[in-house]
Amino acid sequence: MKKIILDTNFLLIPVQFKVDIFSEIERVCLFRYKLYVVDKTIDELNKVIEKGNMKNKLAAKVALALIRQKKIDIIKTGEGKVDDLIVGLLDKDYILATQDAELRKRALKKGNKVIFLRVKNYLVLS
């Protein structure tokens, strides 16, 4: 079973671009998988709720609600930058879902597959 880590910016897609990331993941992943976030993603979403603009606050609130509703497991991490912690977790069983171009490059370079939004419309697994 593959493990898909959802990055913070990926979780904002439903509000920002009106794309159902969960049905899209199901469409592109024709294999068994489980969804995860790292604990620092929850922290980042809470910071957006505190300090972001209205649209981003709404997106972050929806993201936290979706994490609870979909019962997405939270991976405990240590200290460090979120992107570094995520890259450190990646092994052959992980797929990364992100909109961050630099993080995507790092994951691909490490040999992992990546899910990302294409033309603000649908998800792609590469």
Mean pLDDT along residues 40-47: 96
What is the DSSP secondary-structure string of 81-94? -HHHHHHHH--TTE
pLDDT per residue over 50-105, tens digit each?
998 998 999 999 999 999 999 999 999 999 999 999 999 999 999 999 999 999 99
DSSP category for residue 41: H
Averaged pLDDT of the chain: 95
- Report yes or no on whether pTM surpasses 0.75: yes
Residue 92 identity (one-letter amino acid): K
Per DSSP bridges, beta strands 33-38 and 113-118 are unpaired
Look at residue 43 and tell me whether its pLDDT is greater than 90: yes
Class of domain 2-125: alpha beta
